[in-house]
A and B are shown apart, each in its own frame.
Chain A
Amino acid sequence: MIPGPFELVRPGTVEDAVAALVEHGDDAKILAGGHSLLPLMKLRLAMPSVLIDIGRIPGLSYVRVEGDEVAIGAGTRHHELEKDPVAQAEVPILPYVASQVGDPQVRHRGTIGGTVAHSDPASDLPTALLALGGSVVAQGPDGRRSIPVTEFWLGFFETALEPDELVVELRVPRTGSAGWGYEKFTRRANDWPIVAAAAVEGRVALANMAGAVVRATATEEALARGASIEEAAALAAEGTSPSADMHADAEYRQHLARLLTRRALEKAAGAGAAAA
C-alpha cells in the first residue's frame, strides 16, 4: 500500500519548519524518521496534504549535559541514543529503552522527537521519559517553551503541542547511577508492548494502560510512604482504564501493570544496590 498524494516541504531550519506549520495548519504533518507517520499514511489512516520533512534540518541530533539535565535533540535517532556514551552514563534507562524500540531498522530511522510527538500510549520512550520527569521543549511562532512531561501526553495521538509547534528537544534529569528498571511485556520481541512499566527513583510510568502513557501515582505515593515494593506495586493499576484488544483484556492488563511494576521496581532496587 502507498500513501495518498501530498506536497513535500523541506525546510532548512526549525524556524522555516514552524513557518510551514503556520502556513499549512491542520493539513500538515511533520515528517521526522517517518516510522510512526508513514505506516499510518500507507494504510490511509492518515492523509495529510503537506508533509514537512525536518530530516534535513542540521543540529537536531545530540545528547549533552546541561547543568542537572541531559538535553536530547528531537532528531536523535533511537540507535544513536542507544549507543550514546553521555546518555549511557547520565541517564542509562534511556539508551536501554531505546534499544527496546521496534527492530534495528526501525531504530536506525525513528527519532525520539517523533515518538514523543506521536503520543502512542504503547510507546517505549515516552514511558521512560514520563518516569524520568523532565520536559519537552517545543518551538512555535513565538519561540520556545518547555512543557513538563507530566502535562505533555493528553491522549491517544494527542499532545499539548499547538498545531504550529514542533518538538525540538527533550530534557531529563541526570540520574547517573541511580537504579532503574524497564519491563516490557510483548508476545514477540519486536512487538509494541502489551503493557510496559518504567521505574526510576521512586517514579513509575506505564505504557498502554490508558489513552496515553501514565504515571502509577498510587504506587509512587505508597513508595513515598515507605511501603514495600510488593505493596506499592499492588496499587499500580489503580485509576487506570486500559483498553481491551486481542492480546489482553482490561483485567489482564491491570494484572500485568502490577506484575511489571513490581519487577521494574525490584530491578531498580537491585541495580541501585549494585551500583552503590
Chain B
Amino acid sequence: MKVSMTVNGQQRTDEVEPRLLLAHYLREVCGLKATNIGCDTTSCGACTVVVDGLTVKSCTVLAAQADGAQVTTLEGLAGPDGELHPVQRAFREEHGLQCGFCTPGMVMAAIGVLADNPDPSDREVREGLEGNLCRCTGYHNIVRAVRTAAQAGPTAGQVPQAQEVQA
C-alpha cells in the first residue's frame, strides 16, 4: 500500500507492507537511523518520535497509521545551521547520555514532557519519562537535563517545522 507523510519537514510517499512498523519505516525506508528499537513490547521508549505533535512509540504504530501525518525524529531537531535544540543542548551540558541508545527516544520524550509541563519538578520529569528506559545514566543526569532545558523557555517543548508538541 502507499503511504504519504511529512518526515522532518520533507514530504514523501512510499509503497509499504501494511504491517510495516513506523520505526522500521523511518529506519529502513527513510534511512533515519537515530530512532532505535530496544524492545518488542512498547516498554523501552527508544523508538519515541513525534507524530502530529504528540510523542509516540514508533514500534507500536504502523506506518499506515501515520499515513498523512507530520513526523519528527531526532534528526529533525537541530536548526539548519546545526544549532542544537534546547533539549539536545541540555543533554550534552548535563551529561544526560552515555551509550546513546536510549537518547533519541529520551530526547523526543523529554520534549513531550516539556510541552505538557514547561517547568516540571524532578518528580514530574521522572513521571513524564516513565515510558523511557535507560541503563547507563541511572536517569539522574537525564532529569537534570530536562530541568535545564526547561530554563530555555517554550521552545524546549516544541519541535521545528512549526509543529508544536501538544499537551
Contact = CB atoms under 8 A, between A and B. Distances in A.
Do any CB atoms of chain A lie under 8 A from CB atoms of chain B in the complex? yes
Interface stretch (A22-30, A105-113, A245-253): A105-113
Contacts of A83: 167
Nearest to A40: B41
A42 B1 contact: no
A46 interface: no
Contact of A34 (B18, B45, B48, B60): B60
A1 B23 CA distance: 12
Nearest to A188: B130
Interface stretch (A3-11, A176-184, A213-221): A3-11
User: B21, B60, B64 — which one has the most chain A CB atoms within 10 A of its CB?
Assistant: B60
A53 B18 CA distance: 11
Give the interface size class of chain A.
Answer: 20 to 34
Contacts of A105: 42, 45, 48, 55-57, 109, 112, 131
Contacts of B21: 2
Contacts of B65: 31, 34, 53, 55
B19 A4 contact: yes
Main secondary structure of the interface of B (DSSP, over half): mixed
Contacts, number: 84
A267 interface: no
Interface in B52-82: 54-57, 59-62, 64-65
Interface in B21-62: 21, 24, 40-42, 45, 48, 54-57, 59-62
B128 interface: yes
B135 to A, nearest CB: 15
B62 A104 contact: no
A42 B40 contact: yes
Contacts of B41: 39, 42-43
Contacts of A148: none
A2 B109 contact: no
Contact of A108 (B45, B54, B59, B62): B54
A160 interface: no
Given A6-B18, A39-B40, A43-B40, A103 B64 contact: no
Interface string B119-134: 0000000011011100
A227 to B, nearest CB: 36
Nearest to A8: B18
Nearest to A51: B18
B39 to A, nearest CB: 9
A38 B58 CA distance: 11
A102 interface: yes
Contacts of A6: 18-19
A104 B57 CA distance: 10
Nearest to A189: B130
A189 B40 contact: no
Interface of A: 1-8, 10, 31, 34-35, 38-39, 42-43, 51, 53, 55, 79, 83, 102-106, 108-109, 188-190
7 contacts: A2-B24, A10-B64, A42-B40, A43-B41, A103-B45, A104-B109, A104-B112
